[in-house]
Amino acid sequence: MELSNLRNPGLDEVVMKTGKAAGIGLASGTVWGGVVAMHFNGPHVGSNVKYPELVRIGKVSGNYAASFALLGATYVGIEQSLENCRKKDYINGAVAGFTAGATVLGFRARSLPTAVLSGCAIALTSVLLDVTGMKTTDEEAKTGKANH
């Protein structure tokens, strides 16, 4: 038996989409972090550092980039994995949104109430996007099945 026959095409699709989401989150987080860092004045780094503003912008951009990449990868990875295990519906997005929001945003703040609230906020946003028909993926265009 060849190893190529043992590969699961559904798993390859999950990994590919998760990687895309992480890359997009990394890029958008870097840009947004740069905007946020430049909006607030004053270097918050040591005085012995050369180019303290540039170091601060790099740190803030890196922090936002990591957060956005983790948020996107967690959301897409869980949603696609659930889609492979069960049917495609709004519950997949709600579970993925809650999990991504709670783990990435809430536990990063080290607060259980923040974890629950941020998880609920992202889950609600995902459900509203799914129910109103606003799709964040191009899967309907690929399969040719539109729910109109």
pLDDT digits (tens, 9 = 90+) for 45-91: 556 767 777 888 888 889 899 989 998 999 898 888 888 888 888 88
How far apart are the C-alpha atoms of 40 and 141, rounded to whole Å?
A: 42
What pTM, to 2 d.p., does this model score? 0.74
Res 27: pLDDT:
92
The token duo for 117 is 């609230």
> Does residue 99 contact residue 74 with C-beta atoms inside 8 Å?
yes
Number of C-beta neighbours around residue 24 at 10 A:
15
